[in-house]
Structures are given as C-alpha cells and as structure tokens.
Amino acid sequence: MAANPAYVGNYRTEQLALVPEFGTRPRVLWRAPSDTALRGSRIHAMTYANSTGSARTVDQMLGKVLSKGADMGTPAIAGLNAITRDAGSFIADGWRVGQRLALQGATTVTNDALAIITAVTATQISFAASTFSANENLPSTIELIRVTQLHTTNVAASSGFADGSPSVSGLNNSMMPAIDQSPGRFLTLGSGELLLARINSAAPANTAVEITAFGGDY
C-alpha cells in the first residue's frame, strides 16, 4: 500500500464537510475511477479540521457498490427496516447477513443510513427496527454500498481552525498500520472503490468536521 506512485493519470483534491444535516451518517469522500483508462486511486494526504466546538471522532471506511437502483426495478424502503426490489437479486449481488450496508442517494436524506444486515433474500435486505426514518420509493440513482472499517481518529476541538491547533492527519499509520511511514506512502483504492467518512455525534448548527484529501488516479 505504500511505495512510490506510478502511472498516475490525474491528480485531484476532494472535499467533504460533515455538516449538521448529515448527523452521524456516512458520506462519500472519494470515488475511484473504474473505466478502461483509469482503474483506481492513490490517496497521498488527508486532513481533518473541526469547527464544532468539541472533540469529534471520525470513522473512515472503505466502500464497494454492490447494488444500484437502476438494476433493482422499483427499489423501496418498507417497514422502516428493509430495502426491497422487484428486479435482480441481493444474494447474487453479494449481500450477506452481518455485513454493513450504507445507503446513499435516498430522497429523504435521513434514510441514507449505515446499518448491519440481519436477513437477506433475493428481493429484500432487512435491518434492525427503525433503521430508516420514512418508508419511500427510492430513485434509480441510489447506491447500496458494502463498507468495512479502516480506522477511527479523534479530532480535537478547533483542530485546523485555531492558531496552535493543527489539523489531524487522516492517513495516520498508527491507526492504519498497512500504511508505512515512508514519504511516498498512500492509501490505494481499487477500481470503483469508495472512501467514506462519518462523525460519532452530529455537528451543532453552523459548524462541521471538514475533510480534504489529495491524491491521483491511475
């Protein structure tokens, strides 16, 4: 995971502000390409800054889209604890009990939940009671993302926002031992993989935890 980068196609910067509207739900920070020319990303630096007034814990997760709304017929949330479809198969897509699923792109923002799967059939994925805030038909643009934890980092109050309070590294090798301490270290994302982040408690009004990532595609 850490060596001198090669075959970098495009360098870019991605930004994510974990604002009050998002609560503790994960959001996508980085999306690796998946075309024939560029098949992944290398992230070389990442900073966390915190204007919320108190310490916040940031969870960083790796994601892979297993199901897309466009392939699910009429996807929907039912019973506040299930996602249903009338075309395709959740089992064939690779979903299993015990995995964590992040829904992204629901019409109701608070339905973009992160939850552990409790049951799976071809046409329904079930979760704990009241996982979702509203039953609704879902747009064809939704993504169902399987996530795994990379690390958790404490971001002190005012990190990056006050003199003498530096921002916090999101590529801390003590939190992710697979990244070594060499100058050329980087986090690799494979074709179509995602990097997601969330905070442990919602930000107060007019504040946020802000994340900036620098990297390249290859």
Q: What is the pLDDT of residue 10?
A: 83
CB neighbour class for 172 (10 Å; exposed up to 12, middle 13-18, buried from 19): middle
CB neighbour class for 164 (10 Å; exposed up to 12, middle 13-18, buried from 19): exposed
The mean predicted confidence, pLDDT, of the chain is 92
Instruction: Spell 16-35 as b/e; 16+ CB within 10 A means b.
Output: bbbbeebbebbbbbbbbbee
- Grade residue 1 by pLDDT with cuts at 50, 70 and 90: very low
Report the SS3 class of residue 21: helix
pTM beyond 0.95: the answer is: no
CB neighbour class for 6 (10 Å; exposed up to 12, middle 13-18, buried from 19): exposed
Give me the residue spans of the domains in the chain: 10-217
Q: Specify the DSSP element, H or E, that contains 66.
A: strand 56-68
Residue 36: is its pLDDT beyond 80? Answer: no
Q: Specify the DSSP element, H or E, that contains 124.
A: strand 124-126
Each residue's pLDDT tens digit, 79-110: 999 999 999 999 999 999 999 999 999 999 99
For 78, the token pair is 């039912």
Considering the chain, what percentage of its residues have pLDDT values greater than 90? 79
Considering the chain, what percentage of its residues have pLDDT values greater than 70? 91
Report the SS3 class of residue 193: coil
49 close to 56: Cβ distance less than 8 angstroms: no
For 70, the token pair is 């466009």
Each residue's pLDDT tens digit, 135-167: 999 999 999 999 999 999 999 999 999 998 999
Closest CA to 206 of 51, 24, 48: 51
Q: Name the amino acid, one letter, at 75.
A: P
Residue 6: is its pLDDT beyond 60? Answer: no
Backbone CA torsion sign across 49, 51, 52, 54: positive
Residue 41: is its pLDDT beyond 60? Answer: yes
Q: What is the pLDDT of residue 179?
A: 66
Each residue's pLDDT tens digit, 168-210: 999 877 767 666 555 566 888 999 999 999 999 999 999 999 9
Which has the higher per-residue pLDDT, 39 or 46?
46
